[in-house]
Amino acid sequence: MATYRVREAAQLLGVSDDTLRRWIDADRIPATSDPTGRLVVDGADLAKLAEDAAAEQPPVGPVVGASARNRFVGLVTRVVRDTVMAQVDLQAGPHRVVSLMSREAADALGLEPGVLAVATIKSTNVGIEVPQP
């Protein structure tokens, strides 16, 4: 299973190292030490916290401006495989990205909860909104 140092995990969650350390101290997320003695967080635990944190996002009100980027870095939170296809859920900050791919591709990439991944999106239909001031 993938593990992440405090700095890496904090960056993926969009919080400071100190905030993540406080969450560890408060038992919001478990942590262990790696062979070098550095504090690390299990990828599956980090993915669960990312999902929980995304659910806590406050509403932003009417949208007056937005532009999505084409690459979303995040953590795999769920992989559902059947004999041919796989559904991969990625939590990138407050954004949940779902990808459908062949099972062979998901297996070759080693996708499982807690793995760091990048969703690359190419679309011929992109909407941009501008909220009311």
| Whole-number Å distance between alpha carbons of 108 and 111 | 8
The pLDDT, as a whole number, for residue 72 is: 80
Residues 9/73, Cβ–Cβ less than 8 Å: no
The pLDDT, as a whole number, for residue 40 is: 96
Residue position matching structure tokens 């890496």: 8
Map out the domains of the chain with their CATH numbers: 3-54 (1.10.1660.10), 71-120 (2.40.50.100)
pLDDT digit string (tens) for the chain, length 133 residues? 789 999 999 998 989 999 999 999 999 999 999 999 999 999 999 999 988 887 666 565 675 554 545 678 889 999 999 999 999 999 988 889 899 999 999 999 999 999 999 888 877 665 667 766 5
